[in-house]
Every structure is written in C-alpha cells, then in structure tokens.
A and B are shown apart, each in its own frame.
Chain A
C-alpha cells in the first residue's frame, strides 16, 4: 500500500462514483445507497468474504467477486444486480436453508432474522434443493445464552467479535465443509468456558437464532447489531 491513499473513479451500475482505493466496493456502494445484500459482513468487524451473497460482476474479470473484500480501482465497472447475480443469491440462500434446520415459525429470532429477511428480499420463495435434515445438538450450558447449531449459517461474526472486539477468542471453527461447526474453547460446553466474559457480543451480532439469550420465546429475541461502529469510534479504531 502506498503511503498516500489515492482517490479513484469507478462506475457501479453505470453510476459514476469516486472512492478511496482502500475502500471496498460494498462500502462505496452503500455510501451511494446502492443496496448489496450481505450476511457474514458486519460493519465494525474485519471482512471475511465467506457467505458470497455480496458477489458482484466486475467488467473484464470472468468470475464474480465479493463486494466486501474487493477494493476499488480506477476505471472499474461494477454491476451489482444482474440476473445472473440474482440467481446466484437465491441459490446461496437455498443452500443455507437446506444445510441446517431453519424453522422460522418456531424460532426466537422470527421477524428479526437476517437470513429470513434476505430470503424475502432476494425472492427465495422455496428451497428447490433437497433438505438435509441434519441432527445437531443445542448447547444450553451457559447461564445466560444458548448456542443452537441447527440455526447457524457459519458467518463467523461471533468468532470475529469475540476475538477482535472483546479480545477473549472463545469461539472457533471445527471440521470442514458442510460439517463445519462453531465451537467454544476446544469443543467444550460453552458453560464450562474459562475465557468467556459473558459479554453477549456474539449473541448480539449473530444474524439468526443460533446464538440467543435464554428465556426468550418465539420472535422475542431482539438484537442490537449497531453497537459496533460506536464502540470502535469510542475506542479510536477505524474499523
């Protein structure tokens, strides 16, 4: 990276915009009210680029690129909402819904779930893939919170917020591919964790009903996902 940050000009959906070259396409698009759906991305945390919902088309590059992890460059021509991209987004959501047991009607996060609202927004009206109906445990050993793997989308927001903001690093990923699990400590019950500070940041940033407060019934889990930018600003971080 050069010492001085250059300002570049690019187009997003044929609209000319200027941006710093250290800004992601997603950041610049949102500054200009161009909506790109995201799931693993959360303002205030480092980028991860795993959910692929923010894929965009950059002219001259044959594959689609994640807008959250792709930086702006001079002359870039970006399309965010082509038919191909819309279909990819629907396919990704269908895969997420079919991989675990997402039953909106009985979920504590019903009505406040990012996966649920993405399905509505992106027009995913049914899952054409066969459901896997996997069998996953629910970890209720923590005094305050619960981890339900059936509702996890592996976005890793919990892992990042615990590591980057709280500095405790309770969470990690174990396993590979479709069998990946978010685990606490070395795959021990959450309630036995020595490092968990009970701060609940992981619960607040979780986009679905995977990490929730105990004692909540259907549609009662209200999350505050906007505290991160304020927290970072107060700490003098740029994140």
Chain B
C-alpha cells in the first residue's frame, strides 16, 4: 500500500500557550518516527511552512485564543480542517492565559507597560496583534471535535490520541489525562 494514500494532512498551531503541549508532543521521542509514515505535517511551529493549507485532515490547537492573530489563524485552520483537537488545558478551558480575564485588559496593560516601566511608557500597537477582551477556550470560537486536557497532556496521552485517530477511531482522552495533569 502506498504511503501517500494513508497519510493524514496535519497542522498544529501554538496560540496563547507556553509551548509545553508542543514540547510534550516532541516528548513522544522515537515514537514520532512510528507516526511519521502516517502523518504529513504541513503547518506547525515544528516545521518551516508559513502558509495555512486549504485542506487538512487534522488540526491540533495548543493555547487559548487571546488576540486577533490567534483568532484569524484558528478560524482559517478550522475552515481547512476535517477534525480539530483542542490540546491541553489552555485550548480546552483557557487555563493560565484566562487568569487575566477577571482583571480586564486595561488594568493588565497598565501594570505591564506603565507601572512596571521606567522609560517610554506606552501600550504597544505596532507589529503586535491586539489583545481580545478575554482569553477564550478554542471551542468558544470555533467547533472543536476532541478535547485533550492536561497541562501539558502527557506524551503518552498524545501518542494514544494520535494512534487511535490514525486507526480511524475516536479516542476517549479521559482514560489517559485530566485537567491539570
């Protein structure tokens, strides 16, 4: 059987998270080689491509949706994706990025860019995306097909989820991970 027929077209994205979920992905170590024949990684912080593909089988989102760039990219990836995974607590629940929500963006800006600076106090607007009022879990912005909790989800959990999906089954991540895991 030819590899090209069975390969899943996959993208991963790192929005408002710490990259820990991607680190956990890499933490699958040599098992990545096992997955490689089944996966074409077309867009990801782990590869070079900067253009979001038009068609994808699987999109994995790490992080909460916190600024307008996050929003645009998540929307574009959802449009392309057949199946979307929210990977990790930030994507699933907002987690640490959402801890700014009860405070509000303006007091956060004041603290970071005025109270804590000695010179040239200003809110940056050039070359940086604008913050949304709240950091949101991905499913409050687009439809999510599978939720994989954990901070980060253990490499074993990511491996389990991916191998199940490659085999054509929808896994139950509650068996292998939980909030805060």
Contact = CB atoms under 8 A, between A and B. Distances in A.
A119 B177 CA distance: 11
Q: Which of B86, B95, B99, B179 has the most CB of A within 10 A?
A: B179
B101 to A, nearest CB: 4
Interface in B94-140: 94-96, 98-99, 101-103, 134, 137, 139-140
A103 B92 contact: no
B140 A119 contact: no
Nearest to B172: A123
Contacts of B44: none
A110 B101 contact: no
B43 interface: no
Contacts of B89: 103-105
B165 interface: no
A133 B180 contact: no
A117 B98 contact: no
A203 B80 CA distance: 49
Interface stretch (A42-50, A124-132, A166-174): A124-132
B173 interface: yes
B178 interface: yes
B174 interface: yes
B92 A117 contact: no
Nearest to A101: B102
Contacts of B92: 125-126
A120 interface: yes
A38 interface: no
B149 interface: yes
Given A97-B93, A105-B96, A125 B102 contact: no
B42 interface: no
A105 B144 CA distance: 21
B101 A116 contact: no
B98 A133 contact: yes
A103 B86 CA distance: 17
B149 A103 contact: no
A113 B178 CA distance: 12
Given A125-B173, A133-B98, A104 B137 contact: no
Given A104-B180, A107-B180, A125-B147, A130 B95 contact: no
A134 interface: yes
A106 interface: yes
A111 interface: yes
Interface in B150-174: 151, 172-174
A104 B180 CA distance: 5
Contacts of B174: 120, 123, 125
A103 B96 contact: yes
Contacts of A97: 93
Closest A-B pairs by Cβ, 6 of them: A104-B180, A105-B151, A133-B101, A120-B178, A104-B179, A125-B147
Interface of B: 86, 89, 92-96, 98-99, 101-103, 134, 137, 139-140, 144, 147, 149, 151, 172-174, 178-180
Given A103-B95, A133-B134, 18 more contacts: A101-B99, A101-B102, A103-B96, A103-B99, A104-B179, A105-B96, A105-B151, A110-B180, A119-B178, A125-B147, A125-B174, A126-B137, A131-B93, A131-B94, A131-B98, A131-B101, A135-B103, A136-B102
